[in-house]
């Protein structure tokens, strides 16, 4: 029979792995940003990436996103 501690340890390891993956993804985005807009698929221009290295949308899509989610 599986010990409850084994289950708890497996959950802890899974959570640690998820956390590590999120941290790696965040550091990559923070370091380099994304070059492709997640909404339209076009390249995010260099000026936007320099001003907001964490940006995942081009300026046009970001404006649309903010307008659509302003009252959400």
Please say whether the beta carbons of 37 and 61 come within 8 A.
yes
Cβ neighbors of 65 (< 8 A, separation 6 or more) are 39, 57
The 10s digit of each residue's pLDDT in 21-72 is 777 666 666 555 578 999 999 999 999 988 888 888 999 999 999 999 986 5
Whole-model pTM over 0.85: no
Query: Other C-beta atoms within 10 Å of 43: how many?
Result: 13
Q: Secondary structure of the chain in the HEC alphabet?
A: CCCHHHHHHHHHHHHHHHHHHHHHHHHHHHHHCCCECCCCCCECCHHHHHHCCCCCCCHHHHHHHHHHHCCC
The 10s digit of each residue's pLDDT in 4-21 is 887 788 888 878 888 877
The total domain count for the chain is: 1
Containing structural domain, residue 28: 4-69
């Amino acid at each position: 029979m599986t010990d409850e501690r084994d289950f708890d340890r497996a959950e802890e390891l899974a959570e640690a792995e998820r956390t590590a993956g999120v941290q790696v993804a965040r550091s990559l985005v923070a370091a380099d940003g994304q070059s492709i807009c997640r909404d339209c698929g076009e390249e995010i221009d260099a000026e936007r990436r320099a001003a907001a290295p964490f940006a995942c949308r081009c300026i046009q899509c970001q404006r649309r996103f903010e307008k659509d989610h302003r009252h959400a």
